Amino acid sequence: MESEYSNFDAVLHSYFDSFETLDKYQNHPTHNVVAEWIGKIRDLRYCVDYEF
């Protein structure tokens, strides 16, 4: 049986050199515009953070 959570329409997989670069990305004006738009059209959101 296939889980309803086993398929996604879009995935953003990102690597950052440091937490500082992650912070710059998360607070960049273009990122904020896109994030606001995605927030309006998505049904569900999942986030996984990990550090190597």
pLDDT in tens, 1-51: 566 666 778 888 888 999 899 999 999 999 999 999 999 998 888 888 877
pLDDT of residue 5: 63
> Exposure of 37 by Cβ count < 10 A (0-12 exposed, 13-18 middle, 19+ buried)?
exposed
pLDDT of residue 4: 64
Q: What is the DSSP letter of 32?
A: H
Q: How much is the CA Rg of the chain, to the nearest whole Å?
A: 14
DSSP 8-class letter at 45: -
pTM for the full model? Answer: 0.64
- pLDDT number for residue 45: 84
CA dihedral 31, 34, 40, 41 (to 10 degrees): -130
